[in-house]
Structure 1
């Protein structure tokens, strides 16, 4: 359960998160090595995962019960079932690692299992592989990947090399190595002997740290184009009002009022970013006169608005529905907005199960909830970044920035653009109240910056609205659950990190090769 608090600087400070993750994971590693049977090793991983996820994603209860009107027992059951399902992946990792580490006789414990040269990489590779599986199976749920605890730690330099899964591999390698040394010292009662016999464990921890420091020190990107003056809008509209037909107009008015405010320094705003579903109806449900009010607001600022809106495309075969971000300015024709023929548009591609599409066999579950909008269609994998003010902004919506590899196509150069120089996320986390979900999401956005070297803009309904520079520093932030605007100047960047070029392939090859080699050694030992 303590491990579940290592993924956002709340309630612990940011500097403490890497220590908390390493120590709790290391303790779990020691328990796995002490397990007398495969079954017990599996249960240790399952219990560790259940505690992590029961705490770390407890905010799902708020969305199910408070906002989706699901009965409290059923909502609690939903959280419990999700935590139980997610705990299967740690159970798989610890079971596989234990099996790989066993001698033919099946003795357990450090010194009685195979050496540190086997046990430590086995656990790191198995755990990283299970994290990747969790991030891709059934559309994926990579929340609470252990790598996110190290956004501010010395291991973050693995991110531009091998992405968050590389950070996960490094952190589990380091935690397991340190745990081996501590366990050996406690068992023998002499630290010197422990170091002499467990030097591979110490070497693993030192190597993970050294690569992280080297990756962080390398200059991967360089400035691109003129700095962009931006405004991020946070209207703090209660979810009970946002989709209420009687309150929709007041909500849009509030967004426009905030967007029209003059900057304190008097400078013009080139780009104003408004959150997901700032227009909480389909574009053709607003009249040309209603859209003209948005155009007039943009004319007041003299720049471009990028806002979340539900889009409906009427085609010959059927109507298509998208969760989208579009742009408009003071010269945009309102009639084009009604028809959906806009100059810049991004359609969300990674949809939220149950909220934006119904997984097969779960219609009964969705019927228990009251969900506005839904059953959307997916956007294309690579959509052209928005060219605004000499920068190229790649949009993503809601939890799309949790899937790091899916942002990479926009960062890489396209047929008619140099690739994104700035990333921007629009979200509506009001579904989760004032919970850990908000700082956790910001932490994951910062990891995307570590991976790509691109600054990140975050415009949300209730928080965390923030500007993250290319060094992953939060240079501006609005307090959650307050209405306001965040003005900032952002410098775009160009150039590709190793991870931006290759994606997850290298870390997956490394993990697969390690597991295959260790399995071969295990089977070879068994045949002797």
Structure 2
């Protein structure tokens, strides 16, 4: 294998250490700088495509291979097929950095700053595409690695995660492409880096949102029910009792049980069960939110959240379902003959569901995978004062999935200027503050409750107003600036 491809693979693997649980955020810049440095010596777009593909394949195989656990250990897919499925999926994800590399090498011209802008704009746009195409898979978008204490975290309330990705790529490319021994290019490079550092410092001092109402006492419950046992009929009574017992032990203004904490349809629960589950919270003058499967009169099944207690009962149905796990894309019925995934024929909830009104707070629910899509979460703003995610990551065992998902929640809190509450089955149950800091977290794979006071917030960040539009416009603008020399040269040749 050529040295360039080896270096690209190393750079892709290194990128994973920028994310949780390692949190060495500057390795994100190191990884993309190394990739850009390799591309500097590549002349053919075809060779560049291979280089970017190898970077992406290494990054995603190292970063999201925990999907194998869901397919093989809990889904029952044979080991070779599960391994092949993960390799093919990561190969698909690797196409996005591959196209970035190919287009960059094909059209780069001009100064180092102009070329860096072209690379950053391409990176940003293709990450947006990855987060949208075929319902999207934005996991490991590079911007997620830049949660505090990264100086780029301050840009999240303005540009969102994709904008942060673009800034990271820009800094990395400036470092890799600038001829630092030449005075003028070096001065321009330092000016860019210093300007972003100063801008991030002052943005970090801006308060985009403000407290709303009084703090409330919250109990975020972690049930820690093993995925391999959750759906066994002989254990159902035990799991029902576990939920009641935990709710009884941890009454509060708001008590939260995780996604699908009751492993059956709500209309099949024993008579009086939901009343017993809600009784402790109601007695304390509060409310309980739990994850449960609901069925409507037409027979459609929803992965939902249900509130019970002092406030009127309300529901939220998951809108952004997981392909293959919660519904079958067209022509993929054969997939379900290879795996055994309970409740895998679900229906999407309505697009614009209002926040739950619980006491003085308005709580916007998102379920598991939904919090990867910041542009969808901001639909609940400015009404929502709190964000609440309920998840079940037991599907992925003891892996990077839990800390990576918590890091994603930190980015959502930054983007919206709202606290993000998380109640999970096996981890990581936590409270994330509007500045992206983690105020409290339970150890993974332990049963218990995080008892903590939570303050609601109101107001809008720039990202909450405009979503990904500002980042996309910035990315497209830098691409056009980067393409200008090539366009000018073509015009002159044709004149």
Specify the TM-score bucket, using the shorter chain as the normaliser.
Answer: over 0.9
What secondary structure sits across from 2:225 in the alignment? Answer: coil
**Comparing 136-145 and 318-327, the one that deviates more:** 318-327
What's 1:469 paired with? 433
Quick check: 1:247 aligned with 2:258? no
Cα distance, 1:391 vs. partner? Answer: 1.1
Gap change, CA 1:476 and 1:495, over 3 Å in 2:
same
Partner Cα distance (1:374, 1:297) in 2: 32
SS at match of 2:182: helix
Query: Quick one: distance in 1 between partners of 2:337 and 2:192?
Result: 50
- Counterparts in 2 of 1:343 and 1:411: CA distance versus 1, 3 Å: same
SS at match of 2:107: helix
1:47 paired residue among 51, 54, 59: 54
Question: 1:339 maps to which residue?
Answer: none
Establish whether residue 284 from structure 1 lines up as the match of residue 267 from structure 2.
Answer: yes
Contact 1:116 1:200 in 2 (8 A): no
Secondary structure at the counterpart of residue 335 of structure 2: helix
Is the 8 Å Cα contact of residues 259 and 485 (structure 1) preserved in structure 2? no
Q: Equivalent residue for 1:131?
A: 127
Q: Tell which deviates more after alignment, 373-382 or 284-293.
A: 284-293
TM-superposed deviation, 1:38? 1.1
SS across alignment from 2:452: strand
Q: How does 1:403-418 map to 2 (within 5 A)?
A: 403-412=373-382
| 2-structure distance, mates of 1:222, 1:21 | 32
> In structure 1, what is the equivalent of residue 147 of structure 2?
151
Report the Cα distance in structure 1 between the residues aligned to 2:380 and 2:439, rounded to whole angstroms: 24
Unmatched tracts of structure 1, length 5 or more: 103-113, 186-192, 263-267, 333-341, 413-418
- Alignment partners' CA distance in 1, 2:198 and 2:372: 26
Matches within 5 A, 1:258-407: 258-262=246-250, 269-299=252-282, 301-314=284-297, 318-329=298-309, 343-407=313-377
Aligned length: 480
Whole-angstrom distance in 2 between the partners of 1:356 and 1:276: 13
> What TM-score, normalized by structure 1, do the two folds share?
0.88
Three-state SS of the structure 2 residue aligned to 1:247 is: helix
1:106 is matched with which residue? none
Question: Is contact 1:53–1:87 with CA below 8 Å preserved after alignment?
Answer: yes
Q: Per-residue deviation at 1:324?
A: 0.5
Q: Residues of 1 paired with 2:170 and 2:152: CA distance?
A: 11
> Is this contact kept in 1: 2:252–2:281, CA < 8 A?
no
1:425-469 CA deviation, whole Å, 9 max, x = no partner?
A: 000000000100000000000000110110010000000000112
Unpaired runs of 5+ residues, structure 2, are 1-11
Between 1 and 2, higher relative CO (CA 8 Å, sep ≥ 6) is seen in 2
RMSD after superposition: 1.7
Take 1:202 and 1:2, find their aligned partners in 2: how far apart are those partners?
28
Using the TM superposition, give the Cα deviation of residue 494 of structure 1 relative to its aligned residue in structure 2, in angstroms. 0.7
Give the distance between the partners of 1:201 and 1:138, measured in 2 at CA: 38
1:178 Cα deviation after fit: 1.5
Q: Secondary structure at the match of 1:323?
A: strand
Residues 278-335 of structure 1, C-alpha deviations (whole Å, 9 max, x = no match): 1221111113333332233444554211000101001xxx322211001112x69xxx
What are the superposed Cα offsets for residues 445-499 of structure 1, whole Å, 9 maximum, x if unpaired? 0000110110010000000000112222111111000111110000111110000
Contact between 1:408 and 1:503, CA under 8 Å: does it hold in 2? yes
List structure 1 segments (4+ residues) > 6 angstroms apart after TM superposition: none
Q: Is the 8 A contact 2:114 2:481 kept in 1?
A: no
CA 363–204 in structure 1, closer or farther in 2 if over 3 Å, else same: farther
C-alpha deviations, 1:487-514, integer Å up to 9, x for none?
A: 0000111110000001011111222233
Matched with 1:227 is 215
Task: Give the CA deviation at 1:367.
Answer: 2.0
How far 1:515 moved relative to its partner? 2.0
Q: CA deviation at 1:375?
A: 1.8
408 and 84 in structure 1: CA distance in 2 versus 1, 3 angstrom threshold: same
**Equivalent in 183, 199, 210 of residue 198 of structure 2:** 210
Whether the 8 Å contact between 1:229 and 1:489 is mirrored in structure 2 is yes
Written as runs of structure 1 = structure 2, the 5 A alignment for 1:516-527 is 516-526=480-490, 527=492
Mapped partners of 2:333, 2:87: distance in 1: 20
Residue 372 of structure 1 aligns to a residue in which SS? coil
Q: Whole-Å Cα distance in 1 between the matches of residues 371 and 233 of structure 2?
A: 30
Q: Name the SS of the counterpart of 1:29 in structure 2.
A: helix
Deviation at 1:63, TM superposition (A): 0.6
TM-score using structure 2 length: 0.93
Distance 1:4 1:62 in 2: 22
Partner deviation per Cα, 1:66-110 (whole Å, 9 max, x = no partner): 0001111111111101110000000011111111214xxxxxxxx
